[in-house]
Copies of this chain bind each other. A is one copy, B any other.
Amino acid sequence: MKNNRIIDALFRPKTVALVGASSDEKKTSSRAQRYLLKHGFQGDIFPVNPNRKDILGIPCFPTLSSIPVPIDQAFIMLPTAKVIAAVEECVNLAIPCVNILTGGFAEAGEKGIALQTRLARVCQETGVRILGPNSIGLINPVDRVALSVNAMLDLPTLIPGNVGVVSQSGSLIGALLSHVQAREAGYSKLVSVGNEVDLGVSEITDFLIDDAATKVILLFLETLRSPQSLKATALRAFRAGKPIIAFKLGRSSVGQDLASSHTGSIAGADEIFSQFLSENGIIRVNLFETLFELPPLMIGKKPMSGKQVSIVTTTGGGGAMVADILGTQGIELAAVPVEIVQFLQTKKIEVSGSLIDLTLAGTKAEIVQKVIGILLDSPEIQAVIMVVGSSGQFHPKLAVEPILRWAGSDKPLAVYVVPNAPFSLAMLTQAGIAAFRTPESCAEAIRALLQWKEPHSDWQGTIAPSQETENLIRQFNKSTLLEREAGRVFKSLGISIPVSGLAHSAKEAVEIGDALGYPLVAKVLSEKILHKTEAGAVVLNIKNAEELKSAYDQIICSVSKFLTEMEQEGILIQKMETSLQEVLLGYKIDPVIGPTVVLGTGGVLTEIYQDIAIRIPPLSLKQAFEMIEEVKGLAVIRGFRSLPRGDCDALAKAIVNFSRLADLKQFRVFEAEINPILVKAEGEGVLAVDGMLVLENT
């Protein structure tokens, strides 16, 4: 119920107060009223400005409190310093929705952050709902509410459509509006969320899921302030059959440092973001134009398993460009159905290869319709692309009309119009057929559609770590656990570790060694030495007691240069293990997304090739196998050439068990790593040889 009230007040206010309205056309603060009127606002407007009697012919009020009727939404355009008092006035007047244009908050450094914290407190304490601050406002073309200062509202009219937009960039909702209206198509809602002190991307998206006018939702993102709530929203959207398409700025930003002393900066935050979107069934696009050209292709569609695409073209070069780009993304064209080959032969059109080039001879409505009809009916083909040549420019009706009848078809149909043909693009877009102005956006849209997966959120999660793990960590009672202690934690999660013992004298070492059996490895255990090999603190391949004794002495001697006795926990004696491949498994907190699990081959090459797979816990076994598949360097254990296969089953289980670190109840892991985990031959398992675990400071 409460939701309905805020949704109505936000999207369909009957009374709007424009706080800080101006009559000076040069001022941004004059625009809100002008745009509301221009685009046919049906409710009542109340400008608030103590220095004016009226603005643009509408009576002006000195204060919010002096307005004689209840206000649904207040649009605040005051100087930064006056915003909080105005919001408090809104609270007193029980105004359900406050929309703050004013900037100077969290985006403006320390002082602004403090102000925004105060604003957040007002929200929490009073329950008032705020859009912004630093929001350019919202546009609802369906109900004629243009409550924004975006200059794109100088457009003569607003065209209603079925695409909802939630944007962290205020200016770009103008660009989205501009390009789509140029095709005489439009949106259901466009909302600039600004700094998201209260109403954020997820909640607005949630509102749009319930909005009957909205069939597909676009997100323009710069960051994500609440991944967990977007996760839940994305799942709801998927179940409601409203696809979400996202464009994200910051692909090139280095992102937060996910590096440890071992792994270097190998996990760029943007890849994690992509992974997050994909796992939650949100389609990410990288070309700005695809963001607004793709929606009609997604409406009413579900993720598909096949990747067979057909291209029909009347211009060889145009079709070849799309096919070529799809090819670079691993999408190949389907074989041409025999029925089409035979039909075209009757029209003296020879089809060779997989591109269906109708040539000039085939630019006839009945030929185009017949061919597309067959393709849309072919169960083995997942999507169809029609490429329109010069007829799209000079004879838009002839070129486009035969395609229009397929609007709303179950199978995705995309049209790439090769020449400059705004009228053809408009006809198609208005009819609800996805129309593309470049071969690149057309190919990207098809790629995005075919890569679309249902939300992983449907999956129930891993089994939480046992009490044993929690107890073990409590018992160690420190924030950084090194190899032996970390190993015990990993073991408690179900990951095998080599048998070992800790020696404090050469004699003790030999006792342990004799019990374990040779060959062995000996190494010092100390928080102070991270790179043991360089420090001479490891001896490998120890074959007997005599060698073990001298290895012990040698290590003590080497490390005495760096360490006091107090800093050594002892010498670890471990079975020498062999493997087909060493692998690195990492656990990091991404500053935006939260816990992540990283898999790589470890060592210098992982860093050089950035050859890693990232997932967000909780992980399923299926995801773990996907990770193993994604790391190129692990080809060597996946059955490459004549090389022996590694135990990928055991590795996948270890990945899932490792990811359970995210499910600890009493502790939060900041960082963990197994490096290396040894992968033995099929059926022989994996072993976590070395590792560490750092708890978050609490």
Contact = CB atoms under 8 A, between A and B. Distances in A.
Given A389-B151, A438-B287, A609-B611, A324 B171 contact: no
Interface stretch (A314-322, A587-595, A653-661): A314-322
B324 A389 contact: no
Interface string A227-256: 000000000000000000000011111000
Contacts of A643: 604
Nearest to A418: B175
A28 B288 contact: no
Name the residue in A174, A326, A439 with the highest tally of chain B Cβ atoms < 10 Å from its Cβ: A174
Nearest to A314: B171
A327 interface: yes
B318 A171 contact: yes
Interface stretch (A462-470, A555-563, A632-640, A679-687): A632-640
A288 B633 contact: no
B179 A316 contact: no
Interface in A248-269: 249-253
Given A251-B327, A317-B169, A390-B154, A175 B419 contact: yes
A420 interface: yes
A165 to B, nearest CB: 13
A608 interface: yes
B152 A393 contact: yes
Given A174-B419, A175-B418, A289 B393 contact: no
Contact of A316 (B171, B389, B394): B171
A152 B28 CA distance: 45
Contacts of A288: 321, 438-440
Interface residues of A, number: 63
A150 interface: yes
A480 interface: no
Contacts of A675: none
Contacts of A174: 315, 389-390, 418-419
A360 interface: yes
B249 A178 contact: no
Contact of A632 (B175, B220, B222, B609): B609
A304 B611 CA distance: 33
Nearest to A177: B419
A140 interface: no
Given A174-B389, A249-B320, A389-B174, A28 B419 contact: no
A622 interface: no
A374 interface: no
Name the residue in A178, A325, A328 with the highest tally of chain B Cβ atoms < 10 Å from its Cβ: A178
A274 to B, nearest CB: 13
Interface in A299-329: 315-318, 320-321, 324-328
A478 interface: no
A283 to B, nearest CB: 18
Name the residue in A316, A391, A394, A605 with the highest tally of chain B Cβ atoms < 10 Å from its Cβ: A605
A94 interface: no
A641 interface: yes
A641 B262 CA distance: 12
B28 A179 contact: no
B420 A318 contact: no
Interface in A351-369: 360
Interface string A155-184: 000000000000001111011001101100
A419 B152 contact: yes
A288 B387 CA distance: 15
Contacts of A325: 251-252
B249 A321 contact: yes
Contact of A28 (B154, B360, B636): B360
Contacts of A172: 315, 317-318, 321, 418
Contacts of A609: 609, 611, 632-633
Contacts of A326: 252
Interface of A: 28, 150-152, 154, 169-172, 174-175, 178-179, 181-182, 220, 222, 249-253, 287-289, 315-318, 320-321, 324-328, 360, 389-391, 393-394, 418-421, 438-440, 534, 604-605, 608-609, 611, 632-633, 635-636, 640-643
Given A178-B420, A438-B438, 20 more contacts: A28-B360, A151-B394, A152-B419, A169-B320, A171-B318, A171-B418, A172-B315, A178-B393, A178-B418, A178-B421, A179-B419, A249-B324, A251-B328, A253-B327, A288-B438, A288-B440, A604-B635, A604-B636, A604-B641, A608-B640
12 contacts: A152-B390, A171-B390, A172-B318, A178-B390, A178-B419, A251-B328, A288-B440, A289-B440, A604-B643, A608-B632, A608-B636, A608-B640
